[in-house]
Every structure is written in structure tokens, then in C-alpha cells.
Amino acid sequence: MLKKYIFVFLLVLVCSCGDSDPQSSAVFIGGEIVNPTANNVVLFKGETAVDSAFLDENNRFEIRVDSLEDGLYYFLHKPEMQYVYLEQGDSLQIRLNTVAFDESLIFSGRGEVINNFQLEVFLDTEKEEQVIREAFFQLEPQSFSAKLDSLSDRKVAQLNELQEEEGFSKAAYDLAYASIRYKYWTFKEGYPFWHRRASDDKTLHSLPDDFYAYRDQVSYSDPQLTYLRPYYDFMKFHIGNLAFMGCKEACGEKVTRVTNQLHFNRHQLQLIDSLVHQETLRDNLFRTVAIEYLLKHDSEENFEVFMEDFHQRSANNRHLPEIARLGQDIRNLRPNNPLPPLQVVDVQGEQHWLRDIPREGQQIVFYFWSGPEQRHLKNITQRVRQLQEHHPEYRYVGICMRTDMDQWKSLMASYSLDPGDQFLAPDYEQFAHALVVYNPYKSVIAKDGIIIDGFANLNTSF
Ligand SMILES: [Zn+2]
């Protein structure tokens, strides 16, 4: 999904200091990238790049680090990233094909078992998610809980079996265990809201006393978990759930839905402030709430109130510059502003300012796609064709990001896109930021270079 790379989510990793093995503390990670989308691979820990390597002519790379703390890392082959758990002495080969990034990935070598297991859990739960959404959320709370517990227990049993055979370190085991448990607990945090939608109830279902029993085991302070994706996702839902239920109780409002974003998000800030004391996790959660709130486009006045509260609770947040920049980018996209000064390239390789794209007095709808996201390209092309039929008064202009000229041209040909309506953005980060492309169907409507709607959506605005 576009948003995954656009806000370069810091959903990263863990630091752990296991016992050291003086004989072979070096860690090797290498392998082959089929259909590369970048010329290098970067190994990260948390938000810090540890090392990187360029691909050679056979698309192979090698990273060797003399000494590395045990723990969760991730490697980035732009725009995709993937977690990898590393311990001293590990020597891992990776093979992956960017056309189906996660599905194609295979680890081999020392350290393969825990990594392949984690990957399998990730892919499995991704598949289950559809069933959970389509079939489980309608169930009554007890049956829902029982279904999820059984899925979760089955995976933990597999982990325990592997643990007996392979003897993972405690840190590796704990991390894999947390990946499983938190993933399913996330569904439980969301259940009351999703159940209401799935069952057309007007109110939230009352829950049995032990529905949230797992909350006793939730950690708010384990630095090993801070960058673990299933844990972080859980925390977001958990805080959201607590904020909503807490508001119902404390503010005595008959709230059934979040209608006042400022009010709800201030509850979220207050909860993070009181519950979470691990600094990185705290900063990251505050950041997520701020960014999500900003993207709701509450009034500028409310935004100032929110930011004041934010600064009071998180004065030294490491993400303040990013949040300030996003706030400014959003202001720049308000109606009646000129389009940001961005340059695109046409099929002849000539540069144009975005605001100068020929339009013959028409309103232009800019939409976005990218080479590595072909499923999205297919969907958005279909959607644009529908819109062209029903709303021919607009001109639809596609901006392609993260793709080189040759691939761009060949994709235009395969999807029968009119090159006259297509442009290439050479610097996608600049584009993604300036036009705040946070949703795959995000679009910008402009006329004569002036913004009419900076936050349109191809699926909902027409
Ligand atoms: Zn409230």
C-alpha cells in the first residue's frame, strides 16, 4: 500500500542484548533480489541504519556486521521492508522476488527457523484476517473469543514444538510468542466496533466480564516490543478502544460514534500520557495519533488546540519536525492555494511544472500510481475509466511515482494508458510529501494551477 512507504512508518525493531558468543559474533546476511526495485539493501535497527550493501550485477548482496546486538532488525529494499530476527553468529541467505515480496521470501542458513516461522505466522494471519472480518465479527462475544483463542493457541503450540526441536533463545521465543498473541488480541480490541458494523446493531454489544482478560498480560514498557508490528498495531487499537469507552463513561455523552475528532483524540493523548512510559513507544504512539488526527482535516482552530495539548504532553517528541512539516503540507493544500512547485516529466522526457500541465480550462484530477504496485494500478485504471464515463467534465491525469522511465512506458502500454494524460514524478518522496499522498486513492483537484480540493478521493469524492 502506498501509505506504507510514504510515511516511512517507523514500525521497526527491537533491541535485545543476549549472551555473547565470542567465537562467532559476526552476523552475515546476504542473498538475491529478483526484479529489484532499488540498487541496494539497508539493514535497520529501530530507526537507525546499521549497514547497507549495493546489489551486484547478478542482483546479489552481502552484508556482514562484526558485532550486532541480538534482536529484531529489518531490511529495506525500497519501497518494501521486512523484519528479520538476528543473533550473533547468524548467517542468513535471503531470496525474494519483489513482484510478490512477502510471499516469495525465503530464509536459509543459521537463523532460518525462527525467521521462516515468523514469516509463516505473518502470511497465515494475513489470510485469516479475511475470514475473521467476514465471518467472525458477526459472532457473539463468547464464540468470537473462542474462535480467536483457538487460532492463537494453535500457533503457539507450533511455536512450542519448534522450540523443543530447535531450542531458540528466550528472546527469540518471546518475540515470536508476542507476535502471535498481540495479533489476535488486536482483533479483540476492535471487536465491539466491528461487531456493531457487522450486525447492524445501533449500540455497542455488552461484553462478558472476562472478554478482556488478556489485558493483564499486556506490557506497556517492554523495549523489546516497541518496534514489533503486531504489538504496535495492538497498542493503537487498545488506546483507541480505551479512549472511546473511557469517554462514554467519563464525559457522560451518549456517544455511539466518534463525531468530535478533537475531543476523542485528546482522550487518546491523555491515555498514552498516563499508560505508556517507555520513551520510544510513547513518542511513536503520540506521533501516530497526531498524524491520524491531522489527516482528518479538522478545522485549523481545533488543530491548534490539539497541538497545544500534544506539546504539553510530549514536549521533546522526536517526531516533532515531521509532524510540523505534515501540518504545513496540509495547510498548503487547502483550497485556493497554488499547486506546490513540483516538476514532472512527460513521455518525451520533457519537464513541466505541475501547475502548467495543459488543461484547456478544465478541472484536472491528479491521481497517483507506481510500478511496484500493479494491483493498485489495475484497480485505479478501472476506476478512472468509470469516472471518465460518468464525469467527462474533468481531465484525469496520472502521476507515476517510484518507477523508472522504461518501466513507466511499458506499463502505460500494457494498461493502455494515454501517454498524453500521464506524467512521471522523478522524486517520489517530494511528491508524496507535498501532495500528502497517504491513501492509494488520494487525488488532488485543481483548475488553472489553483487547488480546488487537495484531499479528494477517487472512490468517495465523485
Ligand atoms: Zn470524552
Q: Give 159-213 as a DSSP string.
A: HHHHHHHH---HHHHHHHHHHHHHHHHHHHHHHHHHHHHHHT-SSPPP--TTTTG
Laid out side by side, the sheet with 80-86 consists of: 48-54, 40-45, 71-77, 80-86
* Helices and strands (H and E) in the chain: how many: 13, 15
Helix (H, G, I), strand (E, B) or coil at 423: strand
Cell triple for residue 448? 488553472
Instruction: Please tell me the distance between residue 296's alpha carbon and the centre of ligand 1 in angstroms.
Output: 18
Rounded mean pLDDT of the chain? 89
Q: Which amino acid is at 413?
A: A
The lowest-confidence range among 117-131, 197-211, 367-381, 387-401 is 197-211
Residue 107, φ and ψ in degrees, nearest 5: -105, 140
Cell triple for residue 324? 510540523
Q: How confident is the model at residue 265 (pLDDT cuts 50, 70, 90)?
A: very high
217 secondary structure, DSSP code: G
Q: How confident is the model at residue 21 (pLDDT cuts 50, 70, 90)?
A: very low
Q: What is the mean pLDDT of residues 385-397?
A: 96
Instruction: Please tell me the distance between residue 189's alpha carbon and the centre of ligand 1 in angstroms.
Output: 19
Residue 13: predicted pLDDT: 27
pLDDT tens digits, one per residue of 408-422: 999 999 999 999 999
Q: What is the mean pLDDT of residues 165-186?
A: 94
For residues 248 and 264, what is the distance between their CA atoms, to the nearest angstrom? 10
Q: For residue 23, what are the β-bridge partners?
A: none
Instruction: Please tell me the distance between residue 255's alpha carbon and the centre of ligand 1 in angstroms.
Output: 9
- Which of 415, 410, 431 has its CA nearest to residue 367? 431
Where residue 351 falls (left for φ over 0; alpha for ψ -120 to 50; beta otherwise) is: beta
Instruction: Please tell me the distance between residue 270's alpha carbon and the centre of ligand 1 in angstroms.
Output: 11
Residue 361: predicted pLDDT: 79
User: What is the Cβ-side half-sphere exposure of residue 116, based on CA atoms within 13 angstroms?
Assistant: 16
Whether the pTM exceeds 0.85: the reply is no
- Which of 11, 43, 222 has its CA nearest to residue 122? 11
Instruction: Please tell me the distance between residue 284's alpha carbon and the centre of ligand 1 in angstroms.
Output: 23
Helix (H, G, I), strand (E, B) or coil at 88: coil
The lowest-confidence range among 8-22, 159-173, 264-278 is 8-22
For residues 391 and 395, what is the distance between their CA atoms, to the nearest angstrom? 9
Residue 75 and residue 81 in contact, taking contact as beta carbons nearer than 8 Å: yes
Instruction: Please tell me the distance between residue 245's alpha carbon and the centre of ligand 1 in angstroms.
Output: 9
Residue 255: predicted pLDDT: 61
For residues 399 and 431, what is the distance between their CA atoms, to the nearest angstrom? 9
Instruction: Please tell me the distance between residue 450's alpha carbon and the centre of ligand 1 in angstroms.
Output: 39
For residues 422 and 418, what is the distance between their CA atoms, to the nearest angstrom? 7
Q: Which amino acid is at 427?
A: D
Tell the CATH topology of 2-110.
Immunoglobulin-like (2.60.40)
Q: How confident is the model at residue 133 (pLDDT cuts 50, 70, 90)?
A: very high
Residue with cell 529478483: 34
Q: What is the mean pLDDT of residues 227-249?
A: 93
Domain ranges of the chain: 2-110, 135-329, 343-457
Residue 82: predicted pLDDT: 87
- E-strand ranges in 307-458 read 343-345, 351-353, 363-370, 394-401, 422-424, 442-447, 450-457
Question: Right CATH number for 343-457 from 3.40.30.10, 3.30.470.20, 3.30.70.260, 3.80.10.10?
Answer: 3.40.30.10
Instruction: Please tell me the distance between residue 259's alpha carbon and the centre of ligand 1 in angstroms.
Output: 11
Q: Classify residue 105 as exposed, middle or buried by CB count within 10 Å of its CB (0-12, 13-18, 19+).
A: buried
For residues 300 and 262, what is the distance between their CA atoms, to the nearest angstrom? 11
Cell triple for residue 11? 514500525
Whether the pLDDT of residue 16 is over 60: the answer is no
Cβ of 160: how many Cβ atoms within 10 Å? 12
pLDDT tens digits, one per residue of 195-226: 998 888 878 888 999 999 999 999 999 988 99
Kindly list the distances between the CA atom of residue 307 and the CA atoms of 125, 217, 304, in Å, as whole numbers in the listed order.
36, 32, 5
Instruction: Please tell me the distance between residue 320's alpha carbon and the centre of ligand 1 in angstroms.
Output: 26
Residue with cell 482552530: 301
Give the contacts of 404 (CB within 8 A, at least 6 positions apart).
371
Q: How confident is the model at residue 392 (pLDDT cuts 50, 70, 90)?
A: very high
Instruction: Please tell me the distance between residue 267's alpha carbon and the centre of ligand 1 in angstroms.
Output: 6
Residue 167: predicted pLDDT: 86
For residues 230 and 18, what is the distance between their CA atoms, to the nearest angstrom? 22
Choose between 20 and 289: higher pLDDT.
289
Choose between 58 and 205: higher pLDDT.
58
* Diameter of the chain measured on Cα atoms: 72
Instruction: Please tell me the distance between residue 341's alpha carbon and the centre of ligand 1 in angstroms.
Output: 41
Q: How confident is the model at residue 12 (pLDDT cuts 50, 70, 90)?
A: very low
Instruction: Please tell me the distance between residue 248's alpha carbon and the centre of ligand 1 in angstroms.
Output: 6
Whether the pLDDT of residue 427 is over 70: the answer is yes
